[in-house]
A and B are shown apart, each in its own frame.
Chain A
């Protein structure tokens, strides 16, 4: 790691101010992606502005079916929230399967979404839940937020302060993990809400997280694993690496989607 200046922000406004001052200042929340990149000297920000101690960005609110989660809420906090589990167990399950206990106690939902790693879990949930991403400047629909590999609609100085969504009637997440990193090779989040079924896939798309519209259509007609029979995402739009070819990923998407539907229906 190169030497740099560390700042602990006390509020969102403070964070924005601190980030502006730095020459090449970066926000850090849990640091689960940025710190390893810095340790291997692949990232060298001049300043780090730590968002992990901002009280206004923490906590989970559930009111009826409406859920709001602060951007600074850790995966462990999401995983263990009883009220959230009562309305959206798929999301608490997802959070409980991110990384390992160390990661879950440091990493945050806002950090994960803002980073938009193509193999991260939360982006699939946000897309499938039709969530709204709340920043210090505006509210952005998940469909508009994730724009590519590690790319989002966020502008410089913009911070994900929280997310909100309406809990779906049925939902489930199924992940196929990379045997080494245990990131998703394929993760499929299926959610059945009042406007129909949404299916989002992470880990596989060559442009990051995406919705499987064909599967959504079939499942809106009949929410059952059998509806996905013969449906596959073409390999041409999928990533290929030493751990999983595009063909393998394509097959896994259908398998994971079927399993998610079965789980959501159970």
Chain B
């Protein structure tokens, strides 16, 4: 076990505070159903609503949402906040999710009135700074990915995937190549890939992985014919392994008339060091909330820009941001566009944060990938004696361990995940990729210190040692979180999805 002398970095179980009973729901805090907080006066000569809204049926009574007094609401939120693991508390090693630290300054910048208090329908002359930021962000992301153009519109990675596939369909249609209805997707891919393909109306063909975790080129070649619209790949893949045959795959894909799609979920391993565009990818989506550190927000809002090679630029969603001399403008007149994929122009607030993040690193951005990979490889080296690894190949920014074949027969990934929570450590992604039994997928990111990685490794070692002595105790975890293990079966069998007033 390594020395851990930095304050707060010693391995210890973190008990839930004494207040951790049941937190009342917002409906149970004694709020007012009849009156809201004091409001401004209308300042005009009020008239009866029946006169202003003739024939419009109004509510008989207000919606049954209580107005909670501010001090009561503040404490409710304060208590709820303390029931969340978060990045200001400790490591969040969720594989594939890239839970890196979110710079505080980016939060402040996005809240500047010049960014937060502007309307999408203001005249271009009133929002030149916003349009310039979007235009510059597109250029920076093009440079980093090696793509010709990027749409900043998609609201999340999955949204970008579907947008990208729609552009691929439009490309084939424009070439009167209308029989390309299938898309090849590796068995280790994120679930969003096949779901996005289905939403685009494409048929999914699953491609096998080799024993080393990479895509089987022969299997790709076998399935490549004139019915294939695209191959979707993640590189490094979800096992954290670089697809070493990527250039060959790109070659045979293009030869068969198919396009190559890059799922940018794992770009953190490559940012500044290698570009999907150079690998032969035609369409790329990015997750700004992963690689470029916009906060995950408890599950969004994210941002999933999608980039394309020159040959697909005509199909980008409308509008695009263009520059005319020193003026920036929105171009809605794009006849070949796939159309709008959401309202307005994108999750602008997230774009501000990502832009700030990229500008902070600038030309040194490859340090992100270097440190992300170094951290992951170091953590993996520390965990090798504790868990078997899913594949023997060298991984990059993330790796998959498994509890299957560990020293303790019957130790499950779920139990390790839950026991980790008792130490104030969030669990790695469990049971993904689905091709690996009892998978634990670790992605520490570049923002963890070596001590933090040592701590995680020490905790894992302690849990396995504990399981050797007393497996049942580990299976009963967690003990020290605000609630103990949650009954997911009850939740699914008898779904209660809302509060209801007792009859």
Asked if A and B bind, the verdict is no
Which residues from chain B sit less than 8 Å from chain A, CB to CB?
A: none
